[in-house]
Structure 1
Amino acid sequence: MRNFIYLVLNNASNVGTKWLFLTFFISLISGCSHTTKPITIKPITSQELRLGGEQISQYYPYLKNKRVGLIVNQTSVLYPNTPKATHIVDALLADNINIVKVFAPEHGFRGDRGAGETIDDNIDSQTGLPIISLYGENKAPNAQMLADIDVLIFDIQDVGVRFYTYISTMHYAMQAAAQYHIPFIVLDRPNPNGHYTAGPILDLSLQSFVGMHPIPIVHGLTVGELAKMIKGEQWIAFAEQLDLRVIPVQGYRKSMSYPLPIAPSPNLPNAQAVQWYASLCLFEPTHISVGRGTDYPFQMLGHPQLSISSQAISVTPISMPTSAPYPKWENTPLQAILIEQYQPSLAGFDISLLLSMFALADEQRIELITAPDFFDQLAGTTTLRTDLQAGKTVSEITEQWHQPLAHYRQLRLPYLLYPAE
């Protein structure tokens, strides 16, 4: 396959012709990059489900007359997209629960901070509650932060991708709760990518805040299931002494589609971005823009010096304080391909676009990756980067993941809370 790519590219008369070929090649391999049996995804309405947080009677007894700490953000809304929509902070305050403080993950309590932007401690202007940052100098609550807390609650919408950092925040909070003998309650929510497991398993030598657990890039777990697995597999210190309770979602099955009612972070504004996040995030440590600072975050691929086909659009990334303060190629016009032109991967993690871009960069003698160590941390392995650089095919790369994925699917069975169908 690589020889075929070279043959066409080397005989193409100009860069535009090369991109016409690559556009065709991307669409071709997007449809045949795997042999996974198609998954039937059933539509769902919010009325069919009861989120963990909506079942207040199930966890109210653990909160009554207790000093409560909440790990929440803008997604922590009960009955979303209905007239009853209420943030869990407001709901618990209305029930006279003694909320002492809120712990904020990446993007902050209100979800209005850019990716990687340090979050400072502050006072919430609407509730007057202290907001303690878990995405700044401290990634884990310390003894002082927890001295006046009797119980911790985690209620944040995740997207089911290993390097999405809300689950790393949960990891450290669980470990602190175990260490200081504080009960930890997870109010579960559906996983919008819950019908998939795909990608390489994390090599623990590459463990970082964008990869804490030996799970695949697309792990197919809700935060409640993952919390049970973290405790059960003892992936945190003091796991045996953790008092963990998970309030499951009623009526949920993994085959259900679940378009998120609230954007989980500023650069995942819609269902398409959430679906493609796992595949496109690996372009972050490269010269290719994934759309930060544009109207298409995690919905495009762009570069200023590549002449793309007639399907391309012109996009100029700009600084957006609440989502992309310092976007790649800021104020520079890009030629961009919109991802909606291509078939989404049935496996949930599609490397065909990476393969195509690496082929183009190799042909032009361009080093695509700008931060190899960060690429490896996101991938969870060094072999994906080296295989892409070596020009291996999609099947050659993904075949290495089959046996580890099969082992992972067996390992997670005791922790699953929801049927597949």
Structure 2
Amino acid sequence: MQVSVETTSNIERRMTIGVPAQEIDQAVQKRLQETARTVRLNGFRPGKVPMSVVKRRFGASVRQEVVGEVMRDTYIKALQEQDINPAGWPKLEPTVMEEGKDLEFVATFEVLPEIELGDLSKISVEKLTSEITDKDIDSMIDNLRRQQATMKEVKRKSKNKDIVTIDFKGFIDSEEFEGGAAEGHRLTLGSGQMIPGFEKGIVGGKAGEDLEIEVTFPEDYQNEDLAGKPAKFEIKIHKVEEPQLPELNEEFFKKFGIEAEDEATFREEVKKNMERELKQAVSNKVKNDVVDGLLETTELDIPTALVDQEIDRLRQDAVQRFGGQVDFQQLPKEIFEEQAKRRVKTGLLFQEVVKKNDLKADPAKVDEKIQEIASTYEQPEEVVAHFNSSPEQKSQIESSVLEDQVVDHVLEQAKVKEKKVKYEEAVQAGQPQQG
């Protein structure tokens, strides 16, 4: 076997491999002999078909099959000899494969990039701090009650938090625009579902009334044809409904998995959940800033094969979220491309930080994270035992802890600025970014 490797880009390699003709011919002959023993052809007894007939009938297909196997096997052997770690399967193209001649083929593939981390001291991270107030808890409990509310139709003027059933039709320069009309639309006033000014213009309206409101689409509106433009909406109010909030009692508490006999105990449990959410949000925000900083300070090429694999994972996740009614391959790759690239880059950069600094998951932090997860269940000791008895589950926790340690390592060198914000702002800022 003869091997030569050509570097065609930072991450692409072109490997030319030669295999002696004798090796191919022997493999083809052996396969034809095996075929002769089992093949059934009219006019011949089983196992008695002449080799000349077998070769004439099956020689070309057997040779193609053998060449495919030899290319695969010798490619893998060549990688080991050359100490090359590919990032995905190659494109294999035979250049010489005639009978009696040495086989020659080219394997084109990508390798993981050589990464030179940027200056971590140039990374800026904003670390949010927040306190959960009684008002925050009141607001959370109000939201929980509204999730369980029943609706009662009212004849009064509408107000914020009412649900109105409306028809509406939008106009720009006296002409209807696409997507600007609906019938029987249920809208919670004050929810911010619609563009600024729309819901406010309905507040005070009653069932049976016709309204006309003027609003302006935001400059950053997703539909560029509408962004920044003034519009007029004709609105018909069909119904106004007022939410009937449930009582704060044991039956209500149980709906959220909380065993509490009184409101004070329920509030304490709600606060604990909010504290966990706040901690996670602050952590997410810091991690997002670290990832952004690493991406901005480090240039790297990423293998197409890894991006394609990540796109497929994202497509499969999307199908599962929407009930698995379509084949994931029907979803356009372009929708997920940027998110996939960010994920692949982030993974490679984190791996480089781990390798460069010889980081390993701290067993104490792994146990701490398992305990933290277990504390949210009714039988925490069973959850802890499950993680400790499942290598796969524990490995996922170890990976998560290692990511946290990468973030901590970057923070030691980055510029970190603390900013005090309200609870809602912290939670909103900590929403996971795509990728």
Report the TM range for the smaller structure's normalisation: under 0.3
TM-score scaled to structure 2, two decimals? 0.23
Larger Rg: 2
Going by fraction, where is strand more abundant, 1 or 2? 2
Q: Which has the higher helix share?
A: 2
